[in-house]
Structure 1
Amino acid sequence: MKPKGAVAKSTKRGRPSGPAKKRINTRFPEDLADKIEYAAALRGVAVASFIQEAVAEQADRVIEAESRWKLTRDQAAAVAGMIAQPPKPTKKMLEAAKLASRHVVLRD
């Protein structure tokens, strides 16, 4: 099994190896298409392989960036304070917890 976000290795001609699983069609402005074709040629790979690699790298960066919270020092201190001294539960909070517990299954 390939690691998450892994791109299929390319063959000698620069095409992705293995069968394609899904097709995504897109259109590019002519100047961008020309740029992509030129860059792929400079690398000596097929355009499809070049696009797959570039998109996979960008997708990994976006997923990594969006998987974390970015807090200021003040915000981080406020969160740490709430963790250290959580507020007392209100009646509505206790009712919500009781309702939610009906949907939780504990397994061994």
Structure 2
Amino acid sequence: MPLPLYQAKADFFRTLGHPARIRVLELLAEEDLPVHRLRAVIDIEASNLSQQLSVLRQAGLVLQRREGGEVIYSLALPEVRDLLLAARHILTTRHAESGALVDEITRTP
């Protein structure tokens, strides 16, 4: 029996429901990155980052490739960038008066 679209959407958004996964996608929306650079920017244990990258790979949101001795990650679909930008717009509009959000992307090294 086919999966209803609303259920597939709910599953998709659950996949996005971890801050580290969102951060990985935000960083990859800017450029393809090796694991060591992701690890340097995202403050989680290497094993946790590996687990989050695995979830994103299984969901088809990121791709990995080897270059030399490094594993490089990239977004699998350009629409992920659009989704992140839409979420940013919704949240910044919603929280504009309070100034309660900090834009971490502008604080990356």
Q: Name the TM-score, length of structure 1 as normaliser.
A: 0.24
Higher strand share: 2
Higher helix share: 2
Between the two structures, name the one with larger relative contact order (CA 8 Å, sep ≥ 6). 2
Q: Name the TM-score, length of structure 2 as normaliser.
A: 0.24
